[in-house]
Amino acid sequence: MLLAIDVGNTNIVLGVFQGDRLVHSWRLATLRERTADELGILVDHLFMHEGLEHGAVRGIVMASVVPPLTGTMVEMARRYFDRTPVVVEPGVHTGMPVLYENPAEVGADRIVNSIAAYERYGRAAERPLIVVDFGTATTFDAISRAGEYLGGAICPGIQISADALFQRAARLPRVDVRKPERLVGRTTVKSMQAGLFYGYVGLVEGIVERMSRELGGALCIATGGLAETIAGETPLITSVEPDLTLYGLRLVWERNQ
């Protein structure tokens, strides 16, 4: 079995692969002050609940965009699994050329998402791809028809936008981000929800349409928390892949064996 770990700003996602099949996955809150032992105990309980043995894990691969937790997770892997993980970082073989001006600046999650999307969709279709990841930030990544990472765009995530509205406008309340019943809100809360939700749909459509035009026509793949919800509001998103990052990590692991 392979343990894949995606350390994001909001969540830590763990997945266990049996061959190329994702058999279990879990989501933990990202707390930067957690120790290796705390994380190890949490993973112990998750494995115990599913009847999994630590000894069955033959490899660990990890992507992290939270530097304070990267070393902590590596220590956890060594202490609780007796394995040194493959960490997606500059110098690790990914099999995807990165055409960023400074490749070291690209987040590991963006690279592994792009790898998985290209292998699942781009290679067979022989078309450019756009990968939209609805995370703490929303990222738009462009992949050429030849499988090269070209670059992309980064926007504040929808929850960041909602929090900023609450913090900067004295009379506006904090609201849950959800699809409202109608666009024309008849209360302050419903008006805010309408603006946040449909404003974000418009942002996604605008960027995807312009990026696709720049690429000469691209398929759009979405992942992350709001992917399903936003995809239902726009025909520009071709497919939704909730576990795209984990599948990309598995591919990186294979390419480094």
Catalytic residues: 109
231: number of Cβ within 10 Å: 21
Contact 129, 219 (CB under 8 A): yes
Q: How far is CA 255 from the centre of its chain?
A: 20
The span from the first CA to the last CA of the chain, in angstroms, equals 14
- Residue in the structure block whose two tokens are 């294979």: 254
52: number of Cβ within 10 Å: 17
Cα–Cα distances in Å, from 210 out to 144, 204, 207? 15, 10, 5
* Contacting residues for 253 by C-beta, under 8 A, at least 6 apart: 2, 4, 59, 61, 86
* Contacting residues for 60 by C-beta, under 8 A, at least 6 apart: 2, 3, 4, 5, 77, 81, 83, 84, 85, 86
What three-state secondary structure class fits 230? helix
